[in-house]
Amino acid sequence: MPQAPIIYLDAASTTPCSDEVLTDMHEFGQIAFGNPSSSHLLGRLAKSAIIESTSTLAALLGCRPNEIIFTSGATESNNIVVLGSVKSGQASNIVICPIDHKSTLAAAEELERRNIEVRRMRVNTCGRVDIDHLASLLDEHTALISISYVNSEIGTFQNLKDIKKILKQRTHILFHVDAAQALGKIPLNIKSLGVDCLSLSAHKIGGPKGIGALYVSQHAISRLNALTFGGGQSPLRSGTLPTQLIAGFGAAARLIQRQNHRESWNAACQRRSTILEIFNAHKISYLINTPKYKSVPHILNISIPGIRAETLISHLGKVCISSGSACNAHDLRPSHVIMGIGHDSDRAASSIRLSFTSDMDIDQIRNGVEIICRTVSTLRQLIHRGNNHD
Ligand SMILES: Cc1ncc(COP(=O)(O)O)c(C=O)c1O
């Protein structure tokens, strides 16, 4: 009997590496494997991969190559900015968004333990920041505003232009955007975004895990403190550069560069609508946590009342979806994002996230969602029978 394929609906968590990415990684992992800091031939070849990936990313973002720092991922990029933005001995505060990724939130909590004040923006039920409230949090001691462009759990995107406007007269504040979920979904141009720092992750766009980048504008670099010390291979960061991962990131970024943004956005919209049509056809009752507007179409978060997300996921066999962010998978507390936009713990505990790339086969999506709907119906019957036996 043919084996049922695995249906992967968790692209916001991570994506597979494409063949082009693997080919480049193989070359710089096995053939041109030198240390990019070495001056011999293999070192120079390795360095050429770093130069090429750097210029691809710089072209993608519209910034200078010397403003890109490779990191181990968006987690590290976020940590460098949050922890590095506060100078010791100075009275400062930073402002964060409470529904952001844990790598920002936990770094901010570490600052609180060091007696730095952390102020939290207010968000509405769509996950959008209240700009007037944000403005009211800022003062002459504010060192940083940090916010995710696209929320990883519900897909809401923020109006960065409005945030930039309130920073116009406050040039002492660093503006950091975590764009891990935006890269490949929304065009990112540093000049029009007007950010000082921007975090990226390769494995969200078909690149390898364990590599990311931090854009830091030339004028902002001196305002951040390094967290690691050593050979000084990069500004703010030491350590031998992982050439094969950087080559893989560069290859994935080239693929993003080639994509037609409008077409891939429309394709993702079509996939999101298909998912909801199937839920409706099966008469599954659900509550949508992803706002209809101001969200990327590649992420759909819904709550299925009465069915715990973890129970559903454990009954889905070869269909992969997530509850909240995979990075908190070991943390069974209800999602801080769903609670953070004002819903109760039941709604948060029953929230699932379906996420996909815009080129994912639509029939596979259909098959996966059919399985989800049938599993929900089965679980409902089991719960109903259990209740009747009580
Ligand atoms: C918005 C956001 N920021 C940061 C991260 C962490 O990225 P990485 O896995 O590259 O450390 C993620 C990953 O889920 C994310 O979605």
Banded pLDDT at 324 (limits 50, 70, 90): low
- With residues binned 3-state (H G I as helix, E B as strand, rest as coil), the percentages for the chain, rounded to 5, are 45, 15, 40
pLDDT at 330: 60
Cα of 13 to ligand 1 centre, how many Å? 8
* For the chain, counts of helices (H) and of strands (E): 13, 12
Nearest to 377 by CA among 278, 268, 257: 278
Cα of 23 to ligand 1 centre, how many Å? 25
pLDDT at 50: 97
Banded pLDDT at 132 (limits 50, 70, 90): very high
- Could you say which of 17, 126, 327, 373 is catalytic? 327
pLDDT at 384: 77
Atom of ligand 1 nearest to the CA of 148: 1
Banded pLDDT at 390 (limits 50, 70, 90): low
From 152, 186, 200, give the residue whose CB has the most ligand 1 atoms within 8 Å, as the site to mutate: 152
The pLDDT mean for the chain works out to 95
Cα of 80 to ligand 1 centre, how many Å? 14
Atom of ligand 1 nearest to the CA of 100: 1
Q: How far apart are CA 345 and CA 135, in angstroms?
A: 30
pLDDT digits (tens, 9 = 90+) for 68-103: 999 999 999 999 999 999 987 787 999 999 999 999
Residue with the nearest Cα to atom 11 of ligand 1?
Answer: 75
pLDDT digits (tens, 9 = 90+) for 169-224: 898 999 999 999 999 999 999 999 999 999 999 999 999 999 999 999 999 999 99
Q: Has residue 325 got a pLDDT over 80?
A: no
pLDDT at 389: 65
pLDDT digits (tens, 9 = 90+) for 331-361: 667 899 999 999 999 999 999 999 999 999 9
Atom of ligand 1 nearest to the CA of 202: 10
pLDDT at 107: 98
- Mean pLDDT (whole number) for 355-380: 97
Is-contact 83 59, C-beta < 8 A?
A: no
Q: Does domain 19-258 have CATH number 3.40.640.10?
A: yes
Q: Has residue 329 got a pLDDT over 60?
A: no
| 33: CB partners within 8 A, 6+ apart | 42, 46, 243, 244
Q: Which amino acid is at 188?
A: L
Computed on alpha carbons and rounded to an integer, the radius of gyration of the chain in Å comes to 22
Q: Has residue 138 got a pLDDT over 80?
A: yes
Helix (H, G, I), strand (E, B) or coil at 142: strand
| Residue 97 annotated in active site | no
Residue with the nearest Cα to atom 10 of ligand 1?
Answer: 73
Q: How far apart are CA 322 and CA 107, in angstroms?
A: 24
Is-contact 46 29, C-beta < 8 A?
A: no
Strands 7-8 and 319-320: parallel
Considering the chain, tell me which residue range(s) the CATH 3.90.1150.10 domain(s) occupy. 7-14+260-389
Q: How far apart are CA 205 and CA 188, in angstroms?
A: 14
Q: Has residue 327 got a pLDDT over 60?
A: no
pLDDT at 1: 60
Considering the chain, tell me which residue range(s) the CATH 3.40.640.10 domain(s) occupy. 19-258
The CATH number of 7-14+260-389, from 3.90.1150.10, 3.30.470.20, 2.60.40.10, 3.40.50.1220, is 3.90.1150.10
| 304: CB partners within 8 A, 6+ apart | 284, 285, 286, 312, 350, 352, 376
pLDDT at 88: 77
Q: How far apart are CA 366 and CA 7, in angstroms?
A: 10
Q: Has residue 281 got a pLDDT over 60?
A: yes
**What are 250's two structure tokens?**
């560069």
Is-contact 199 81, C-beta < 8 A?
A: yes
Least confident of 27-41, 47-61, 79-93: 79-93
The phi, psi pair for 301, rounded to 5°, reads -115, 125
Least confident of 1-5, 263-267, 301-305: 1-5
Q: Has residue 25 got a pLDDT over 90?
A: yes
Q: Has residue 5 got a pLDDT over 80?
A: yes
pLDDT digits (tens, 9 = 90+) for 141-159: 999 999 999 999 999 999 9
Residue with the nearest Cα to atom 12 of ligand 1?
Answer: 180
Which residue blocks in the chain are alpha helix, DSSP H? 19-26, 41-61, 74-84, 102-113, 131-137, 160-167, 190-193, 243-258, 261-281, 309-314, 336-340, 345-349, 362-389
